[in-house]
Amino acid sequence: MKQFFADFSKLIKLRLTFLVVFSASVTFLMGSKMQVARGEIDGIAWGNWLILIVGGFFVTGAANCFNEIIEKDLDKLMTRTKDRPMPAGRMTTGQGLVSGLLMGMFGTWLLGKLNLETGLLSVFSILLYAFAYTPMKRKSPIAVFVGAIPGALPPLIGYLAALGHTTNFLPIDYQVAVILFLIQFVWQFPHFWAIAWVLDDDYKKAGFRLLPTTKRDKISAFIVLLSTMLLIPVSLMPTFYGFGGIYVTIISVAIGLWFMYTALRLFLKQDLESARKVMFASFIYLPVAQLALMFDFIIK
């Protein structure tokens, strides 16, 4: 059983799945709070929140499972991934496919119970991640842009899920949903590229081309720096549009400058240690920014 749970964790990329579910959960609470403030609902629908968590978990797990099926032979070449259940021979491709289909259908069904838009977006995210982003990783660095789209959908899905059956792709506060999507979309570029820099030697074994210039050089480091600079004004959009308070502004600027500083060090040094610090900063940045927005909503 211990090996089974370890393999299942690797199959669904548990830490990535947790981050996705966390993003959707935070924005669900924000959307619910906004409806309470408008008098549309009496309180947060915790049952729907639980459905979102479980459905989001299985949908994300399915997308990651399909990703590993497609990349099974490539995963055998990389140190980081060769012990995953399928490349290691502990799970067949057929078993992985059945697991992915069951998780995908069950998760989509759950999310569809919240509203049609949430279900459709979950299907779109699976298809784009598994069947567009995954094969493009060996062809062009543009894969990072493609992958950033499904990667930014969880906060949008969570926000729309909170609106229940009243949503219609353009809810009254659609600007909030779009801005939450944009923040996570822009964040993914320095996040992806920092990981690609750290794992570049391993990625080359499988032919992945994810760095902006496909190699560790000054231009790639400069593009990473630019992406962290762009994130600062994007993170201030909640303040500009009136749903982010002073605490959100202060925290967004503070963590944005710190993130940018780590990217500046990478630009100046172009070494693995600096890239690891950018990667670490990216893991801290997103949950802090999202929690700041959520708590700002709650205390208003």
What is the tens place of the pLDDT at every residue in 160-216? 888 876 545 455 567 788 888 999 999 999 999 999 999 999 999 989 989 999 889
pTM: 0.91
Helix, strand, or coil here: 137?
Answer: coil
Distance CA 69, CA 100 (A): 9
> 82 near 76, Cβ under 8 Å?
yes
Tokens of 186: 């822009």
Q: What is the pLDDT of residues 208-260, one digit of tens each?
A: 989 999 889 999 999 999 999 999 999 999 988 888 888 899 999 999 999 99
Q: What is the pLDDT of residue 180?
A: 87
Q: Which residue has the higher pLDDT, 93 or 169?
A: 93
Distance CA 245, CA 298 (A): 11
Element containing residue 101 per DSSP (H, E): helix 93-114
Q: What are phi and psi of 220, to 5 degrees?
A: -60, -45
> 189 near 234, Cβ under 8 Å?
no
> 232 near 257, Cβ under 8 Å?
yes
Distance CA 71, CA 61 (A): 15
Decide if pLDDT at 297 tops 80: no
Determine the distance from the C-alpha atom of residue 155 to the mean position of all C-alpha atoms in its chain, rounded to a whole number: 9
